[in-house]
Amino acid sequence: MPLGLGRRKKAPPLVENEEAEPGRGGLGVGEPGPLGGGGAGGPQMGLPPPPPALRPRLVFHTQLAHGSPTGRIEGFTNVKELYGKIAEAFRLPAAEVMFCTLNTHKVDMDKLLGGQIGLEDFIFAHIKGQRKEVEVFKSEEALGLTITDNGAGYAFIKRIKEGSVIDHIQLISVGDMIEAINGQSLLGCRHYEVARLLKELPRGRTFTLKLTEPRKAFDMIGVRSGGGRPGSGPQLGTGRGTLRLRSRGPATVEDVPSAFEEKAIEKVDDLLESYMGIRDTELAATMVELGKDKRNPDELAEALDERLGDFAFPDEFVFDVWGAIGDAKVGRF
């Protein structure tokens, strides 16, 4: 439907962390689909895939961010399964894993694990620490929070704007998981749902946040960060390639994103923060992938509705995404 001619039809609910389909166990690199094709590319003719014994075996090293021995994990195809493998390695309940960072044990939002892991990246898992309950007086419409989620049902604070309402409350920090607002549980909610609830809270009223902070190592205690730097861009790994964790279908090994893709993803992620109060490099990467070969904004809008209908992106946002992808294509950085 052309932009501006009415409410666009929503796609079926977005499943962010669907379990691997039957017969697609392990990392899924080169796994055949139901008709023998590659995982994301549909049916393909030609030679059959190699037997499992000859497929690449991808093993990643991991530690708990607050300190632990090094563990080895493999055989996951999405973020939820990754957390499960980490929990098995350290004999923890999977629900204890809040989020992961790449190549640093610190709560560094520039190094947050999203949908891609460099093949040589080291994974640090941040688990639940102290729980806290904070009363906040909403003196302004904007609280100054940017929300993201871990891809497995936990939404947390990715950035706090300097000088904002939340910035003046020292008990609230980047990395805190938002468990509940005014007693309403948010476990299982996506980042955009939490951002919407915070935005809809009435100005001039007090509300209560129930938070859980990541467990800290000794050298992290007392450090309060404002989060990732605006415009710092997604961190997609430093290895020879990346393992992309998909919400549907098996994980795939891909080349490191091109300069165009990195810049376009950064621009779209900035637009997500500006319009929706969230940051999500994997969502931004999906939007760039959907839009890079579209001929006009209407085609992009239809593609977004079909794949990401639950977000109900406004027309103005779609136009800006189209423009950001176009600017990146021609090198207008």
Q: What is the pLDDT, as a whole number, of residue 252?
A: 65
- Per-residue pLDDT at 251: 64
Query: According to the model, what pLDDT value does residue 262 have?
Result: 87
Thinking of the domain 56-215, which architecture would CATH place it in?
A: Roll (2.30)
Q: Helices marked H in 69-188 — which ranges?
A: 79-90
Residue 241: both structure tokens together: 């390639």
DSSP 3-state assignment of 180?
A: strand
- Can you say whether the dihedral through the CA atoms of 166, 145, 14, 102 is positive or negative? negative
Nearest to 175 by CA among 198, 146, 151, 141: 146
Check residue 115 and give its pLDDT: 75
Residue 205: pLDDT band (50, 70, 90) is very high
pLDDT at 225: 52
pTM of the model: 0.67
- The Cα 128–Cα 214 span in angstroms is 5
pLDDT of residue 87 exceeding 90, the answer is yes
Q: Which range is most confident: 41-50, 53-62, 85-94, 236-245? A: 85-94
Q: Are 226 and 162 in contact (CB under 8 A)?
A: yes
Does residue 122 or residue 329 have the better pLDDT?
122
Q: Which sign does the torsion angle of CA 294, 299, 301, 304 carry? A: negative
- Across residues 84-88, what is the average pLDDT? 95
The predicted structure's pLDDT at residue 226: 57
Tell me the mean pLDDT in the region 236-246. 57
Q: Residue type at 82?
A: L
**Residue 152: pLDDT above 90?**
no
Distance CA 209, CA 29 (A): 41
> Which position has the higher pLDDT, 12 or 257?
257
- Report helix angle 315-329 to 281-291, nearest 10: 80
CA distance 124 to 63: 5
% of residues, the chain, pLDDT over 90:
48
Residue 238 token pair: 């430093």
Confidence grade of residue 333 (pLDDT, cut at 50, 70, 90): low
Side chain identity, residue 56 = P
Point out the least confidently predicted range of 9-23, 46-60, 136-150, 189-203: 9-23
Q: Is the confidence at residue 183, as pLDDT, over 70?
A: yes
Q: What is the mean pLDDT of the chain?
A: 78
pLDDT of the residue at 134: 96
Q: How confident is the model at residue 330 (pLDDT cuts 50, 70, 90)?
A: confident
Q: Does residue 115 or residue 141 have the better pLDDT?
A: 141
Strand partners, 244: 116, 252
pLDDT number for residue 328: 87
3-state secondary structure of 236: coil
Residues 272-303: tens digit of each pLDDT? 988 888 888 888 888 999 998 998 999 999 99
Task: Write the DSSP assignment of 203-218 as a string of letters.
Answer: TT-EEEEEEEEEP--G
Bridge partners of residue 134, in order along the sequence: 209
What are the sequence ranges of the domains in the chain? 56-215, 257-330
CA-nearest of 172, 169, 109 to 139 is 169
Spatial CA neighbour of 85 closest among 29, 32, 26: 26
Q: What is the dihedral of CA 22, 23, 24, 25, to 10 degrees?
A: 90
